[in-house]
A and B are shown apart, each in its own frame.
Chain A
Amino acid sequence: MITLKEALTKSKEELSEIVADLESKAKQSDLNAYVGFEKSGEGVPILIKDNIQVKGWPVTSASKILQGYIAPYEATAIVNLKKHGMMAFGRANMDEFAMGSTTESSFYGPTKNPHDPTRVPGGSSGGSAAAVAAGIAIAALGSDTGGSIRQPAAYCGVVGMKPTYGRVSRYGLAAYASSLDQIGPIAQNVEDAAILYDAIKGHDPKDSTSAEFEYESIADRLDRNAKMTIAVIDNYVEEADADVRNAFEETVRRLKEAGHRIVHKTMKNTKYDIATYYILATAEAATNLARYDGIRYGRRAAANNTQELFFNTRSEGFGEEVKRRILLGNFVLSSGYYDAYYVKAQKVRHLIRDAYNAVFEEADVILSPVAPSVAPKLGSIHDPLEMYKSDMYTLGVNLAGLPAISLPVAKNAEGMPVGLQLIAKAFDEKRLFDAAASMEKAIAYHDTYNERER
């Protein structure tokens, strides 16, 4: 598949051929990565996760409750990418309302992992990652609330980047957890990820949580030879399985060879990240999803009175995982429990941020697993807590609002990709991308596994 960088050099005619070819390949694919083939704008086609608003498109967050809804306005990220020679092309499958780690909770059915169709692509941006990995998208937008870009990127062997909270406007991203959500790129390589990140970022007065900063491009200044101090969190690595540990050790070895300095650190048990995340994210989600009531838009259930209308619309419209999180969120906010759960979780969130910042006093970036294992089999996770645990390495980054990038480093014996993530200080995307570019070069994943030939 042509890279984003190369595609951006193509003429209008060449691009329309690329789009036609892409469309026919995507429509033939049985991965179920696309849930729509709409087009908007002109330029290089970018696949859009089904929770980012594109004017005139049905945008449904892969939920039954939003069937029939047509977005009447455009997300700022879409407005921005259109200004940079790109167009929105197709809607990517996802977990319903971005709640999940496997893309199995989608109203449109699960997406399959292109490396093994019996396995999940990860989630919630599973459609975006699977499509890029399968060569049916040049690059894609995803959203990352607790790992939803990085984890599917790792499971599918592609690059996925979550910007610092506030870098990319959330205006037009159907909210899951407002204080954690970020839109980010999923691409074939680090440079493409940087190009797409550059295109969508920027201060937005429509998003009060958007950061004010001077715009500086990164993609054209990537330094693959930068030498960094990279922190390794030993107790995190220990909790991963053998595939991940082996890949991690090999990566560390290559990074040292490339001239980077490795420092060893420990951080608090990730169980605190998981507990904190599932309190704060669900509290926000419970209110963010309260608007889906069948009154103004979307799918409305039959009812005899208003109360029934709310009740039936939401009972029929939401899937199990979404309902579970709405219930959990309402529980932690209910009077008598608010202090014990929500307030306490906010305090822990500050401690988590402090812990990361302490590491950054000595290190430029942190190297960490993305998930404790490779992509699991479809339908193999039955206990939601087991799924929540698989997010152990990614949640802390969202809680601390940090930028992070996941890139493939190895394949296991079964040919399934292993990804690792680099994490940087807030607003230090430049160093994050430099480190990632250097690591990409040191690992030479594509040369080793011949990925480019597919």
Chain B
Amino acid sequence: MFETVIGLEVHVQLNTKTKLFCSCPTSFAEHQNSNTCPTCLALPGALPVVNKEAAIKAMRFANAIEAQIDEASRFDRKSYFYPDSPSAYQITQFYAPILRDGKVTIDLADGTQKTIRVTEAHLEADAGKNMHEGAVSKVDLNRAGTPLLEIVSAPDMRSADEAVAYLKKLHATVRYLDISDANMQEGSFRCDVNISIRPKGQEAFGTRVEVKNINSFRFVAQAIAYEVQRQTEAYEDGVYEQEVVQETRLFDVNKGVTRSMRGKEEAADYRYFPEPDLRPLIVTEEMKAAARELPELPDQKVARYTSEWKIKRDDALVIVADKNLANYFETLVAEGAAPKQAVTWLTSELTGRLNKLSKSIEESPVEATTLATLIKRIEEGVISGKGGKELLDHMMENNERDVDALIEKLGLEQVSDDGAILAMIDEILADNEDKVAEYKAGKEKLFGFFVGQVMKASKGSANPGKVNQLLKERLS
């Protein structure tokens, strides 16, 4: 009877070489406050200069989601006092963001698709970090001034699943574009979730609650589930007006609940006004050209995998969700593995083994070229599927990578030679004359018994297809 309405604000840390308004590196620094300069320390008289690389990355994103680029976007000051904010204002784009009106298509569980509108995305500078050590508080400004792209969606999502699908799609997109590391644990991809409910059929939105700073897909789903339940109960209990107010809440990851920040952020007046130290960010032809060339994006990959390689759409979606997985997959195919086999070996065999080791695909001990050889040997009938698994297990734990040498070393080669298999078959049939008679009398189930015996005699090295074929001939 209620409908959930969700909008997301995603903060993506752009992977530029230098900060947004100074030439300090954004790379990891061993010492606190070492990646700083007069500008990002907000010393008297220091001034910001816009990093064009950040603008180009934002424009690449705009092109990827078919958004409008403002060719003269502007920066504004957002004022608030906090120790990790050196100038006590954040330089952001409040009045004229660099891009507007993009769209992101998501795939839903029922196989349908839905378009989520991106109303705008703006460039802004990140803050530093406060650290508390007992009675002492310290400020590290290495991160201060790092470029962020804040991507704001329309309130177009109607469930936690849709919200997570949208986030995953955005995550994949910025990774393919190589505009962000999008490492969620490290906070380079984090989001604020706006959640409200309304009775089905009602057009007006309910009261919107913002849950801030969530950095995992799972927590986003949990926070939405909690809020929807809280708001629905308040509505049903007749205390919606009192309990659900427009406010900022925090998600408690340990308890799985959201808590009000009331009193802390209330009445925050950011006093936005145009940044007088910067002129409008004029988009030049060179910048446009640099932003125009895009890599193949997830949607295009899915289309290619399904049409050219006849991969199931669901499998394709799983693979393209992770840029590294897609790269691995494409290498498998390029090295000669049949696409369908490649899907199975990648998404179930290899991924399963990696999961057990808590490793990601880029940390896989077995490289794509090696796995491709393994898959080819199965297709060629040199080893069985079972032998392939054994071989993969071996390689996950050892450093030997010569597939053919390992097949020999581990004795995995299948016996496909008719003569050798026939010899084994004849011996087994001779030893089991009673069962042969029973089989011939109609007990066809015994066929499996004979196959098992032959395989056992060959210590598993006989090609099962061949065994089946030759047995049938002998028993007919």
Contact = CB atoms under 8 A, between A and B. Distances in A.
A291 B86 contact: yes
A171 B48 CA distance: 9
A449 interface: no
Q: Which interface class (under 10, 10 to 19, 20 to 34, 35 or more) fits B?
A: 20 to 34
Contacts of A342: 273
Contacts of B77: 287
A109 to B, nearest CB: 21
A69 B44 CA distance: 10
Interface stretch (B35-43, B180-188, B388-396): B35-43
B434 interface: no
A59 B271 contact: no
Interface string A59-89: 1010000100101110100000000000000
Given A287-B88, A293-B88, A306 B47 contact: no
A76 to B, nearest CB: 10
Given A72-B38, A174-B44, A290-B89, A338 B49 contact: no
Interface stretch (A6-14, A206-214, A425-433): A206-214
B50 A208 contact: yes
A73 B81 contact: no
A333 B271 contact: yes
A86 B81 CA distance: 40
A338 B44 CA distance: 26
Interface string B254-275: 0000000000000001011100
A94 to B, nearest CB: 13
B81 A293 contact: yes
Contact of B43 (A170, A209, A297): A297
Given A209-B277, A291-B86, A306 B137 contact: yes
A348 to B, nearest CB: 16
Contacts, number: 101
A295 B83 contact: yes
A66 B88 CA distance: 17
A207 to B, nearest CB: 5
Contacts of B419: none
A295 B42 CA distance: 11
B49 A306 contact: no
B87 interface: yes
Given A59-B44, A73-B38, A208 B49 contact: yes
B72 interface: no
A170 B276 CA distance: 12
Nearest to B21: A208
B334 interface: no
Contact of A61 (B44, B87, B88, B272): B44
Given A72-B38, A208-B50, A296-B86, A53 B276 contact: no
Contacts of A174: 44-45
Contacts of A177: 276
A291 B50 contact: no
Interface string A324-336: 0000001001110
Contacts of A291: 42, 44, 86-88
Q: Which interface class (under 10, 10 to 19, 20 to 34, 35 or more) fits A?
A: 35 or more
A439 interface: no
B139 interface: yes
Contact of B45 (A75, A209, A287, A290): A75
Nearest to A335: B269
A310 interface: yes
Contacts of A72: 38, 43
Interface in A293-325: 293, 295-297, 306, 310
Interface string B52-87: 000000000000000000000000010101010011
Given A208-B49, A283-B273, A342-B273, A290 B44 contact: no
A175 interface: yes
B41 A296 contact: yes
Contacts of B272: 333, 338
B47 A53 contact: no
Contacts of B41: 296
Contact of B44 (A71, A207, A333, A335): A71
A284 interface: yes
Interface in B147-201: none
Nearest to A331: B271
A178 interface: yes
B45 A171 contact: yes
B278 interface: yes
A310 B43 CA distance: 17
A206 B49 CA distance: 6
A171 B273 contact: no
B279 interface: yes
A56 interface: no
B223 to A, nearest CB: 28
Contacts of B86: 291, 295-296
Interface string A168-196: 00111111011100000000000000000
A206 B81 CA distance: 26
A345 to B, nearest CB: 11
B44 A171 contact: no
Given A51-B44, A173-B45, A293-B88, 9 more contacts: A174-B44, A175-B45, A208-B277, A208-B278, A287-B89, A290-B81, A306-B137, A333-B271, A335-B269
Q: Ordered nearest first, which 4 A-B pairs have the shortest CB separation?
A: A290-B88, A178-B276, A174-B44, A333-B271
18 contacts: A59-B44, A71-B44, A71-B45, A174-B44, A175-B277, A208-B277, A283-B273, A284-B276, A287-B77, A287-B89, A290-B81, A291-B44, A291-B86, A296-B41, A296-B42, A310-B81, A330-B79, A335-B271
Interface of B: 38, 41-50, 77, 79, 81, 83, 86-89, 137, 139, 269, 271-273, 276-279
